[in-house]
Structure formats: C-alpha cells, structure tokens
Amino acid sequence: MGTRKRAGMIAAAAGTRPPRPPTPAAAARGTIGALAHFAGHAMPAPTPDELWQLLVRTRLLEPSALAALRAEHAAAPPAAAGDGSAKAIAGWLMSRGTITRWQAKRLLIGDTGPFFVGDYRLLERHEREGDGLLFTARHEPSGRLVAVMVLSAKRCRERDAWTSIVERTTAAHGTTDPMTSRTWSLEQQDGVKFVVCELVSGTKVADELERLGPLPLQEAGVLAWQIAKAVGEMHSRGAVHGHLSLDVLRREPPPAGAAERNGRVRLLQFPLAGDPHAASSAPAAGDEEGLARLGRRVAYLAPELLRPDGHADPRSDVYAIGGMLHALLSGQPPCWDGGVVTAVKAAATLGPAALPESVPQPVRDVVARMMAHDPARRYRDACEAANAIASALGLAVPAIEPVARAAAAAPWAAGSTGIVRRRSEKRFALIGGLVLGAIVAAAAAVVVSRFNVGPVGGRGANGGEQASVKRRAGTKVADPAGKPDARPDAAQRPQAAATTPVDAAADAAGPAAPAAVAQVIVDNPDVPWASPTNGLPPSLAYLPPGSQLVLLARLAEIEANDEGRLFLKSLGFAAEAAHDTLVKLCGGDELAIEVIQAGWQAGGPDEVVGGFVVWFAKGHAAPADESARREAWGATTAETIEGETVYQTAMLSLWVPEVEAGRALVIAPRIMLATLDGVGSTAATEPLIAQIIRETKPLAEDDSAVLKAALPRDLETLVGMLDADRHVTLFGSPHYLLTSGRMVLAGPFAKLAEPMDGLFGDGLQAAALSLHFGDECYVEMDAVPTLDVPAKTLAPEIGGRVEGLADTVEAYCTALNPDPYGRMLVLRLPGMLRVLASQLRSGAEGKGVVLNAYLPRHAPHNIALAAELALAQTPGAPVAADPAPAGAGSQSALERLNRTMTLTFAKDNLERSIQLVSDETGVPMEILGGDLQLEGITKNQSFGLDETDKTADEILRVILAKSNPEGKLVYIVKERDGEEWVFITTRAAVEKRGDPLPPAYLAP
C-alpha cells in the first residue's frame, strides 16, 4: 500500500471541537455543567418517606428493590432500625452497605446529586486543594473501584489549562513503572469532563516519617532509587512530574502480620498530584498564600521554581528526589522547621542541613549534587539520578537506560505540545474472515436482492486522501443530495480525534477561541487507519420510521468506478434484477441516482417491511410529467395523503416530496400497517406510505433537526459515527437481523445466522459495515456496545470471537466439492480473509468502536463472489461448531445442568462465571440484581475456580458458594417466554415469593 499517507493519525494536543448539544437523557436529568453542581442541589431535610423516594430518584437504589427494602427496615428490631427518622434510616442503610457515609450526608440535606458521572457511581468525596473534585467511585459495569477527578468546566474552557490537561493525561497514561499510579482515561459524559485513574490506598509517607522517624540507609536508598526510576520514565517520555514530595507517596497496607513499613510504596501522578487544571506542572508558589498552601511540601521545591518565570523540568524533579532521599535519611524534610517562609530562606541561603554521620560519603555527594542550587550542576534527569543512587549504595540493579525520547522536542526545551504515542505490538484481528467476506458482501447482496420493494415473506401484494480519522456526530449532517451548504468549511468541521487515553477528550468542548494545535502524524498499528473520506453523518430524510436495517449506496459513484461495477455484478442475478427495476422507476439512467436509502423493519410474523428513498444527482429529477411517469411507473392513480400527492400502482406507492422539488423519490410497498390507535382485531390500519409521510415530513422540513429520521435510540448513536461519503454502508441492529428480521437471511444466506450470532453476541446494540472504492478498497466496521460493555473492551471481545475465523472458513471450503465454475475462487477465500485480517486496525471512538482496513483494489468483488459461491453450496460433511447433544432441544434445564463439564479460571466474578456455565450448557441464565442488592451482595466479587469433570449443577452451586460464603445465593428454574431459564437469587427472596428450589438444594 505504498507509504500509506492515509494511515497517519492526527493526535491533537488540545481539543478545539465545538461543544455538542446535550442529549435528551442529559437534559432530562439535569446536565452537569460546572463543579458548583457537585456542591449539591440542597433542599429542606427530607422526611423518612421523602428519603426513600430520594434514593430511587438519585439512582442509588433500583426502583424494583424499594418496596422490599422498606419492608425489611420496617421488620428490623428497633436497635438496628432506630427511631424511624430519616437520619436513623440513613444509618441503617449505611450499616448494610446500601449507601456510603458521604452519600448519606448529602441525602440528609435533601441533595439530589449527582451521585453518578457516566458509568461511575460516586461513593466518597476526598478533600483536596485546587479546582477539581476527587471521588472514590465504582465503575458500575465492572464493579471496579477507581478514583475519579471531576474537572472544572470553567477551567477547561481556558485554552492553556485544557491543552495541559490533554497533554498530561496522555503522558500519564503512557507510564508503565509499577510504582506509579495508573491514569486510565480522560472522559466526557453529559457535559462533565473527568479523569479516571487508579484508586491508591494507604498512608502518606510524609506522615509516616513524622511518626516513625528515618528509614535505615539501605531501605531509604532503595526507595529513592525506585522513585527516581519511575520519574525517569516520565522524563524519557517528554514529561515531568512537578509535584514530588513525600506527600505524594502512599504506603499501601502491609500483608497481615507484617510490620507497618512493609507495605508497598506507590507514587501518585497526574491528576492525583497537584491541581490538574494548572497550565504549569509546577506547584503554585508565587506568593505567600501559595507557599502557605504548600506547607511542608515547600521543602522539596527547587529554588528556581520560586521565580516568576520558573517552570518545572527534569532538573527540578531531580532536586525534589534529592530532598526526598534527604528526608528519608534524616527524619525530616530538608530546611524544614515548621514555617514555609523560613524554609524557603534556609534553602536559598544555607541549603539543607548535613546528613547524619552514619550516611556514607558517596550517598552524601549524590544528595548534594541532586539538591544543588544551580540546576546545571544537578543530574540531567531522573534516569541519571537513579543510576547515581544505585552506584553510591552499591545496589545490585541494572543501569536505567532512558526510553527513546519523543520525536517532538520536550516541552521544557521548545514549548512543543506534541506527544507521540508508543507503538504497540498488539493488533486485533477483529472483523476478519467471514465478517467481511460473508457479512459485508453477502449481506449486501441479500439486502440489494430484496429491492423488489415488497415484504419478504408474509403478505404478498402489496476519493482525496487525508491524514485524519473519522469525526463523530457534530451539529450538522450531510445532505443526501449534496446541497452546496451541506458541509461545513474546515474551520467548522469537527477535528480528528486520536484513539488515545483521551478518547472522550477529543469529543469535549474546546476553548471559545480557536487554539493553536500542535499535530503529530503517527503511523501506529494500535489505532485505526485514517479514512479516505471525511463526510458528515447521513441525514436519512424520509427513511421509513423505525427502520432497524438500513442500506446506503452512492449508486452514481459506484457505477463510475470499475471495481464498483464489478462489485455490483458479483452480488448475483437477483441483485442485478433489483438494480434494473430501481433504475427504471427513476427514469432509466443509473447515473442519475446519487444515493439510495433503504430501510427495513419488522411487519407481522415472518414478515419484513421495507421502504426506499432515491436522491437524484445534480441536474436530474424524478419523473415530473404524466408522460414520464407513465413510461417509468406504468399506469398510476394520484391520491392526496397528508397534503402530499402520492402515485399508486398496483403494488407500489410513489411519493415525490413537494419541498424537495423532484430531488427525492420515496418508494414503499402498497401495504397496510397497524396504527397505535387500537389493538386486537379492531386495530386501526393505514398505508405504509401514509405513516412515512406523517412521521418523516416534519423532520425533513425542520432545518434545526440533525437527524431527519425516526430510528431506534441505539441506531441514532451509531449514525453519528457514519460517513455519508462512503460508497456503500449497511447498518442496523444485530438483534433484529437475527430475530424478527431473520427473513432477510433467506435461502443460502441463512447459514450466516449462526456465525453472526456468535460474533455479535449480546454485547452489541448496533453495527455498521461500509466500503469505499478507490486505488485501494477501504473497509470499516463501526459498533456500539450495550450499556454494560465499555467501548474499550468491545474490540478485544470481538477479536476473541473471530480469532481463527479464517481457519473455520477454510475448513468449510475444503469440505465442499465446489462446482468447477468458481472452484479456484472459493478455495482462495480463506487466503483472502487472512490478507484482510493482517490489515485490520481498531480503536475506541467515544462510546463506539471502529475497525478498518485497506485492501487491494479488486478485493471486494472477489471476496463477494467467493462468499456467494461458497454459501450457495453444501459441504460434503459437517464443518461447523460441535453439534449439541442429541435431543438437547427437548431436554429440560435441569437435565442439561446434569451434563458433565470442566470450568477452571484463576480469577473471575459471579456474572462472568455464570455466563460461562450458560454458554456450556445452553441454558439461559440471569442474575436477579434487585434480590442480591437487598442482601448487600455484589455481582463482582472475584474468586478462582478449578472444577473438573463435574455436573454443571455442582459447578453452579460452587460458584454461588464462592460468591457468597454465607450461603445466601441459590438458583431456581422458571419459564420465560416458553423457555426454561435459570435465575440466580437469594434464599430470602425464594422464601418470600414461594419459588420452588431445585432438587439439589432439598437433598439432606
């Protein structure tokens, strides 16, 4: 692929995108726009009943658990339940772990929160200086405890502050030293910007030093070497710490029975050290007030940082490390006598006091050089300092080699804001094999072949190259017919966002004035390829409302491209016939059709209802006069519906929206659909075209509407990730395609259902596949996970499902006895898929995931044709996944739980282990979270398991016992929608509802 100019990723050092409008959900619950909101929406102290309702209103308690929890409180003895006051109820809730002390304090003053930021439940607030608010939080999907630093909306609008936050988060995320606290991501949810990082527990080493005195020489030296090594990694990556002192060291709790100082020491970094909003990495110490805030930390402040033009650099960090080693050896911070002013004066004139005589001279010399008043006399960076400490103490450790510095100059050298990300070896083979070859090509063939504009089954009659990544949805969308003002100019266009730890930051509101952004082009296999197109999301005007499977095709551009024409031909005779029918309806010229929009939704049982919108290219229009209409459509009858003229044929309804002046033609099968006005046999019905006109016309005519189509909510999120300039895009709900829309996968394409189900699983709300033809073919998959699956984990999960998929396709193809026609092409399909897998790249984009690849120019039609030929034939022997045991479909849930299986893992949780048992037995299972919450049981308690050759029933009961050693967890079997399910619940809930327990629990 040559130099792959398009492979470059633009890593913006500062977000310059305009703020997004709030989502409806955010508006409904009150978008948080400033830290003042976290001070609480105080109301009068609640009554007991108001407190219970407040728990549900703030989402701290599931509505389904409220009644049972109130009943439990009412039945509790007075000693536990208290006097029934709101304060007593809050105390009782704290005692059982339902709420935390901080949450209770806020609730008791009538505070409505927020107690959640995105997927994070805020548990405790920690006092600290600066404009940020620090919380202990729990990531609800995973149950993991983290620290969340909520940033000031006002400070984030300051150009320098926001640029610094983005830079320092990126740098902090890249650190790998085990001593350093982990910084995971900079995110934005509902207008709130926050940094997610590791929750580090323990006591300050500064406090420990005051209580216990100095460390022995060797322990102090090793600790100082570890600090220097960790900070040296930052220096080698073009960053500085800037806030080093014994106050940013935390001693984790020691192992049981060990001495207090045996716990591991951790070094806090951004954003846990210092004010995250400060544009400088150095502490604010420009006046007496600033010095007073620093307190004893001033003892570690290099003298040059006290000057008005002082800025942190590696040598100032070296000074601080020297001061920390001095304090560890002497028992108190250097030059510290309890007063900040006298400490500063002593450091400037006298320097630190002499170390105890017991400290060897080589160590004294190292400390003296690190704390030299003149920065030029100090070690150049912490890597050199670490090596010097090791040498002076005779530590048997390898010399520290600085990591290769970033290509851009370090900030202290030239003021550059560029940070180059490390190249990672990991590469996800994510949509490989069958995903593109069968789903993109074959599914596209299926959809196009359904262009007979009628229901499938059921009732009858009726390119320039740019080094950028895709943009997320902005405030405009692409006009399907290419209006001149449809695309914003470069200044308005959303900026490209790097797939870095600051995924969401690139989505955040930038400063009011355009910021100068330092850009670094990075060819990194750990981020997606840049797209050859940079279009806006499609507007989807006049698309049938509620569509759950949508096809977009830029037909004129496809027809003008030689590979595009070959791709259309490779889709088969049915697709060719549908193409010819559609072209005839539009006047007979395929180059007149700029864009085809097709949408499908469920109709009745075993029925798929579709409608189509054709947008005409410039200079072309829908048949306008009687003669043209008769030639294209045959005999028609004009009818007025909702003020619009609709032309009816025997099977079709055709509508040219008056406002579009012939630019659009809407085509729908002439069928009747039920309305929402009635139910049962007396339900009202209306023509499909009437529904389309009534629901899409107001949106199409509303200039303020971003998306001009009524789609399921999950698809609306996906549309924001799409590019209207792509030649072919197919998107929708996998669940729909595998359930009520399964009729789309008729005939040989029914073989796709099982692999698609295995690929998408239950963790995917919506997915899109797109192609763009050019000198090379660009392929992209976009996916939006369910709420309980973070976008950053979706890519590796899909990767795990499709790993080895090319091998599966190879086994399928070799089991065929292919027709001589196309035999070689079919047998080459696995090799084509391996080429695809080798080119794939992936990354998170906001709440979604992008996976893409560049392929040879003529790959699409070869893969499509090979996949179609392979699917049309039947293997001589079964080559699919292992078949289920005979009679499995007729077995009861308990019979299937009696099968023998093996389940072993080092560490996992209840939710994941239950899923593993469900996958193995084929029995659907669900954890009744409300029941567990009433007992204070979490679904995320980790444990190990090693169960070999036991029944699934036995293993399931072991899992429940490990999740709750008190024996409160049990399982029951109940029917849901005609199928037996296993539900994980508690003994108390079973007794209350009178549910029967399985025989295993009744045995003596």
First to last CA, the chain: 70
DSSP string, 494-535: PPP--SSTTTGGGGS---SSPP---EEEE--TTSPPPPS--P
pLDDT of res. 547: 83
pLDDT of res. 413: 42
More confident residue, 468 or 934: 934
Closest by Cα among 724, 407, 412, 401 to 541: 724
Averaged pLDDT for residues 657-679: 79
Q: Which of 46-50, 274-278, 516-520, 550-554 comes out lowest in average pLDDT?
A: 516-520
Q: Kindly state the DSSP code that residue 175 receives in the 8-state scheme.
A: -
Strands 925-927 and 979-986: parallel
Question: Hey, CA dihedral for 674, 677, 680, 682, is it positive or negative?
Answer: negative
Give burial (CB, 10 Å; 0-12/13-18/19+) of 401: exposed
**What pLDDT digit, counting tens, does each position of 817-872 carry?**
666 656 677 777 777 777 776 677 777 777 788 888 888 888 888 887 777 777 76
**What pLDDT digit, counting tens, does each position of 698-738 carry?**
888 887 777 888 776 678 878 888 999 999 999 988 776 66
pLDDT of res. 207: 92
Closest by Cα among 182, 127, 132 to 155: 132
| 184 residue type, one letter | W
pLDDT of res. 802: 54
Averaged pLDDT for residues 734-759: 62
**Is 23 a residue whose pLDDT tops 50?**
no
Q: At what angle do helices 314-330 and 217-236 cross, to 10 degrees?
A: 170
Residue 446 · residue 578 · CB < 8 Å: no
Question: What is the C-alpha to C-alpha distance for residues 554 and 333, in angstroms, rounded to an integer?
Answer: 70
Give burial (CB, 10 Å; 0-12/13-18/19+) of 289: exposed
The 183-189 sheet, strands edge to edge: 116-117, 120-126, 133-139, 144-150, 192-197, 183-189
pLDDT of res. 702: 81
**What pLDDT digit, counting tens, does each position of 345-366 carry?**
667 667 788 898 899 999 999 9
**What pLDDT digit, counting tens, does each position of 791-826 carry?**
777 766 665 555 566 667 777 777 776 666 566 777
**What pLDDT digit, counting tens, does each position of 448-487 carry?**
444 444 333 433 333 333 333 333 333 344 555 443 333 3
**Cβ neighbours of residue 406 under 8 Å, at least 6 residues apart?**
237, 238, 418, 419, 420
- Report residue 632's pLDDT band, with 50, 70 and 90 as the boundaries: very high
Averaged pLDDT for residues 775-790: 81
- The domains of the chain, with CATH numbers, are 41-112 (no CATH), 203-404 (1.10.510.10), 434-493+534-871 (no CATH), 888-1002 (3.55.50.60)
pLDDT of res. 709: 83
Chain centroid offset of residue 726 CA: 24
Question: What is the C-alpha to C-alpha distance for residues 137 and 149, in angstroms, rounded to an integer?
Answer: 10
The 925-927 sheet, strands edge to edge: 925-927, 979-986, 969-976
Helix (H, G, I), strand (E, B) or coil at 278: coil
Averaged pLDDT for residues 756-763: 63
**Cβ neighbours of residue 578 under 8 Å, at least 6 residues apart?**
448, 449, 450, 451, 452
Q: Average pLDDT over the chain, rounded to whole?
A: 75
pLDDT of res. 845: 75
pLDDT of res. 380: 92
**Is 985 a residue whose pLDDT tops 90?**
yes
pTM here is 0.45
**What pLDDT digit, counting tens, does each position of 867-905 carry?**
777 776 655 433 333 334 434 446 888 999 998 888 776
**What pLDDT digit, counting tens, does each position of 617-628 carry?**
999 999 989 999
Tokens of 791: 């976008």
**Is 671 a residue whose pLDDT tops 50?**
yes
Closest by Cα among 661, 665, 461, 669 to 583: 665
Averaged pLDDT for residues 216-233: 93
- Find out whether the peptide bond into 114 is cis, omega within 30 degrees of 0: yes
Q: Which of 140-154, 322-336, 561-575, 942-956 ranks highest by mean pLDDT?
A: 322-336
Alpha helix positions (H), 852-998: 859-871, 893-897, 910-921, 929-934, 952-963, 987-993
